[in-house]
Amino acid sequence: MSLATEQGSLAAEQNSLAAEQDLEHEPGQLADARGPVEVFGIRHHGPGSARSLVAALDAYAPDCVLVEGPPDADALLRFVGDEDLVPPVALLAYAPEEPRVAAFWPFAGFSPEWQAVRWARRHDVEVAFCDLPASATLAPREATLLDEVPDDEPDEDAPDGDDGTDGPSAVDLLLGAATARGPEAEARRRLASRDPLAALAQAGGYDDAERWWEDVVEGRLDSSSPFPLVLEAMGELRRLVGQRRGRHGENEARREAYMRQTIRAALKRGRTRVAVVCGAWHAPVLTAPLGPAAPDARLLRGLPRRKVVCTWVPWTHRRLAAASGYGAGITSPGWYAHLFEAPDVPVTRWLTAVAGELRGRDLPVSSASVIEAVRLAETLATLRGRPLAGLTEVTDATRAVLCDGDELALRYVTDRLVVGERLGDVPASVPTVPLEADLLATTRRLRLKREPTARALDLDLRRGIDRERSQLFHRLRLLELGWAKPGQSDVQATGTFRETWRLAWQPELAVAVVEAAVWGTTVESAATARVASVVAGQSLVELATTVERCLLAGLPDALARLLEACADQAARDADVVHLMEALPALARAARYGDVRGTDTGALRQTAEVLVRRTCAGLGRATTGLDEDSAVRVRDLVDAVHAAVGLLAAEGDDGGVRAEWLATLQALADRRDLAPLLQGRLTRLLVDAELVDDAPERLHRALSYGSPAPTKAAWVEGFFTDGAVLLVHDPALRALLDGWVRGLADAEFTDVLPLVRRTFGTFSTAQRRALAQRLAHGDPVPSVTGTDRLADLAAPALATVETILAAGRDA
């Protein structure tokens, strides 16, 4: 007889025995016959386990339900059943003095533990958690010699499959433990130690533990309870593995000791039918008789503790997935949720949902295709000997029929449905830190939803609600809460009144909110305190950046302190490079404040002081620069030039802009200036209409006597982002074209990368226009630019004069 056949015979025998017991006893009599403690070994987040568990609890009718979880959170179980507590959710336990020390216990709607708690609340039965407390789990512990032993190393003294009984059990036959010896037995022990379900799946002839579990538990078509068989199987696995060693084994022993102590306490309180819901691996050591309590008490004595706080937080299906790193994760949370919520015709309902998702992506899917896909999935299940079409079959049917073999469309379905992005919800009555309560109230007032799927949000800062949203997002960034991040808009628009953000709420942000709560009870006060804490010790550049972010966040109290610190630091900092790096952020902040109506007088004054100090020291900063330093200073000069343009008022010829341009004029003619800088300063002066001899300057820069790389550096400085000059100024274009044509082969090879880098800053359209001008050989015009403009405007002026004359006559 094969292992698979033996497994089927064993399951059939167990189902038949359970059915006979159901016929011979009433529910109350059956519960009494089964004893004071019943252990239900489940798989975390298994819909089949959850459905079977609810039926088993109905049959057993316990007066106390103990669920694997931290007892510190027992007070939060009263919220289960509240219509506003919508799974997936998670219990969050954290140390208030060190919020980063935290742990989550996730629950989905199809989690057996969640259904057990709901059953107890629905039947008004005592319910509590029975695992090791979070205060012990999160407590600091010292390293011991046990930590030197690998967690998956089996005990050398553990039994090798022969426990002295007369003959092998049914599970012994499945595992082959009664006949396997040597390396084969050792391999089985290691596999069972690492993944008990994988060991059972392998014994049943499966190479995939997920598929085995779906066939045996999730896809079961009969109504018998799987828990007795699971209990026996896990008992045999534990006997095969023996006592695990290392930190994992030590922690496991303490957890199970605490669970037994919790069961004893329930019996001591007079409970007569205690239902224990725990991971299947722990079930064999929790069944009656529990044995003496003294060894468990000794094991738990001196257990380190720390103060913890527990609360409910929203969770997502994606965070339940094993791919997220969750130790008890599953591969397909969305599929499991569907199996639990749609037990009737699940395949038909699933493929209908798949068709809906594909149609939402404008992919044509007909009703006939859905019917064909259902038939294919059921046929595949029959051919593969499965009781019900599983995820593998519906995925194959989706790929072949609904997606026409398109793997991209299939991945979209997998991401949207098989894994899913469902986000739970927590009622406002759940205890939480004040900062979280204020953030939740603010998001509701601003009509913002916490969603796990990233989405773009375009804000128009001329609207009041969008202005408040922007301030909230900037405050959260100051608190290092990454819910909202700046993004790129799909809308083509210019102006400082528009912002684009990408929003994506992740469950881990709950811990970040708790960490940020040490700064204040509201988002505004916390952000203000956070800014005040980083003022000391920051450089001038960091202070300027923080000033900009603080202004965008709408924090006037923090802004006043920052400006004072920025002014003091600027007075002490003699490095011109630091001044130039800090100026752009201050200029942007001053300009952006005008949009929000913020008074930026003090900010503008500080920025103008930085401009004047930069002008005074720029000559020293540009002396004796190597190539890399010249590039850096060139970029800083560009940034300062743009910042000065933001600060300058219209018609302010005697202000900072005039002083800055005068400084550039004085530097542009220096012979010791780096060619890259000399070309760039000349270009800035041309744009400011302070230089009218650009062709002559270019001619001197490209004349004989200078090496080709030096000429190329001047060209790069002048023409970077300057395609318009070349397109519309034939004289400059002719000079540059003649210089390139006159280069020797060796010189051309040397300067080609530099010239290509310069022309790489031009857009495709600009390069095309320039090529057309060069191809047509546009001659230098014989008339001046002013005369040419007058000739072009003459017809329009004549028309306007005619219209005005007609109006006067009328």
Confidence grade of residue 222 (pLDDT, cut at 50, 70, 90): low
| pLDDT (0 to 100) of residue 185 | 57
- Per-residue pLDDT at 647 exceeds 90: no
Express each pLDDT in 46-77 by its tens digit: 888 888 899 999 999 999 999 999 999 999 99
* Contacting residues for 527 by C-beta, under 8 A, at least 6 apart: 475, 476, 478, 479, 519, 520, 553, 555, 558
- Per-residue pLDDT at 729 exceeds 60: yes
* Contacting residues for 125 by C-beta, under 8 A, at least 6 apart: 62, 63, 64, 65, 119
Q: Rg of the chain over CA atoms, in angstroms?
A: 38
The whole-angstrom separation of Cα 796 and Cα 680 is 38
Query: Could you tell me which residue, 707 or 259, shows the higher pLDDT?
Result: 259
Cα 798 from chain centre: 65
| pLDDT (0 to 100) of residue 244 | 65
The beta strand positions in 436-586, using DSSP E, are 455-460, 484-486, 498-503
Paired with 503 in beta bridges are: 455, 484
| Candidate from 459-468, 556-565, 768-777 with smallest mean pLDDT | 768-777
- Per-residue pLDDT at 720 exceeds 90: no
| pLDDT (0 to 100) of residue 810 | 58
Query: Could you tell me which residue, 395 or 495, shows the higher pLDDT?
Result: 395
Express each pLDDT in 423-433 by its tens digit: 888 988 898 88
Can you tell me the mean pLDDT for 598-606? 71
| Single pTM value for the model | 0.68
User: Distances from the Cα of 64 to the Cαs of 328, 558, 634, in angstroms?
Assistant: 26, 55, 76
| pLDDT (0 to 100) of residue 167 | 40
| Closest to 200 measured CA to CA, from 174, 227, 231, 169 | 174
Mean of the per-residue pLDDT values of the chain: 79
Percentage of residues in the chain having pLDDT higher than 70: 80
Q: Which residues of 214-249 are buried (b: 16+ CB within 10 A; e: fewer)?
A: bbbbbbbeeebbbbbbbbbbbbbbbbbbbebbbbbb
Tokens of 127: 């319910």
- Per-residue pLDDT at 28 exceeds 70: no
The whole-angstrom separation of Cα 241 and Cα 251 is 16
- Cα 629-675-580 angle, rounded to 5 deg: 40
Express each pLDDT in 300-312 by its tens digit: 998 889 999 999 9
Q: Is 101 helix (H, G, I), strand (E, B) or coil?
A: strand
| Closest to 69 measured CA to CA, from 110, 116, 36, 37 | 116
User: Distances from the Cα of 155 to the Cαs of 147, 200, 237, 569, in angstroms?
Assistant: 14, 21, 14, 64
| Candidate from 351-355, 373-377, 609-613 with smallest mean pLDDT | 609-613
